[in-house]
Amino acid sequence: MSIKKDEELLKLVKKNEIPAHVAVIMDGNGRWAKNKGLPRIAGHKAGMDTLREIISCAAEIGIKVMTFYAFSTENWKRPPWEVKYLMKLPEEYLQKELCTLMEKNVVIKAIGDLSRLPRKTLSAVNYALESTRNNTGLTINFALNYGGRTEIVDAVKQIAQKVVEGNLDINKIDSHIFAEHLYMRGVPDPDLLIRPSGELRISNFLLWQIAYTEMWFTRILWPDFNREHFLRAINEYQKRDRRFGGINK
């Protein structure tokens, strides 16, 4: 991207209307690799470079929270060699990036059922969570073995348990109490959801949290997605009229 174009795009982004929370479905790695005659794994590897570029841009423009969908509860259906590689990726990514993320004052968090991750992956993730815990900049949630339905079912179980034990009055359950039992407690819902790759679906991502999220879809495949596309998405988001069911004055 030329410097001029970058500056123009940055100027278009209104500093006082930066979305607090942006969620991203990192999709299209396999097709990107296939188009280049490469194995699918090469697409996942290339996707890590995109991730670096987008995190750096998000920190630069002052986004508070980014949530990246890295592995879904349905992705276990893939061939074993691909699952194995995808499970190794967090470790590889963190080994390479943790220093830079520390320098950028990033807080790393993970959402999903982490108990199914291989031991080495889990310890790399836990090390990153622990190392970045006291940072104060951009928070990045990595959705690993994440499924929106599982998240909701888990919340229901926790709430039911409290009711059964007499620690929660059933009439007190409302959407606020419910949300306190989800993985990302106290985090505002995403303002914007970006899905590259041309698919026009949610694929079990943040089902509860996206009730009023603005959607931005693009045909660009994740490894080709860059800072320019990201700034365009933010710019288009800033032109939307968010009414939350009300009417504008």
Which residues make up the interface to ligand IPE (CB under 6 A)?
A: 25-31, 69-72, 75, 86, 197, 199, 201, 203
Q: What contacts 24, CB < 8 A, 6 or more positions away?
A: 54, 66, 67, 68, 69, 193, 194, 195
Locate 159 and state its tokens.
């709430």
- Residue 201 interaction partner, one of ligand IPE, Mg ion, none, beta carbon < 5-8 Å per kind: ligand IPE
Q: How far apart are CA 58 and CA 64, in angstroms?
A: 8
Residue nearest to Mg ion (CB): 27
Tell the smallest beta-carbon distance from residue 43 to Mg ion (Å). Answer: 10
Q: Indicate the residue among 15 and 77 with the shorter CB distance to ligand IPE.
A: 77
Q: Which is nearer to Mg ion, 27 or 214 (CB)?
A: 27
Min CB(26)–Mg ion separation in Å = 9
Is residue 27 at the binding interface for Mg ion, with CB under 5 A as the rule? yes
Give the integer Cα–Cα distance in Å for 44 and 50. Answer: 10
Chosen from Mg ion, ligand IPE, none, partner binding at 26 (C-beta under 5 to 8 Å by type): ligand IPE
Using a 10 angstrom Cβ sphere, with 0-12 exposed, 13-18 middle and 19 or more buried, the burial of residue 222 is buried
* Contact partner, 67, from Mg ion, ligand IPE, none, Cβ < 5-8 Å per class: none
* Contact set for Mg ion, span 68-127 (CB under 5 A): none
Q: Which is nearer to Mg ion, 27 or 91 (CB)?
A: 27
Question: Closer to ligand IPE at the Cβ: 9 or 221?
Answer: 221
Q: Binds 70, which of Mg ion, ligand IPE, none (CB < 5 to 8 A, cut-off by type)?
A: ligand IPE
Asked whether the beta carbons of 191 and 64 are under 8 A apart, the reply is no
Q: Per CB under 5 A, does 191 bind Mg ion? A: no
- Between 82 and 189, name the residue whose CB sits nearer to ligand IPE: 82
CB of 153 to ligand IPE, least distance (A): 19
- The catalytic site residues sit at 27, 75
Instruction: List residues near Mg ion by CB under 5 A.
Output: 27
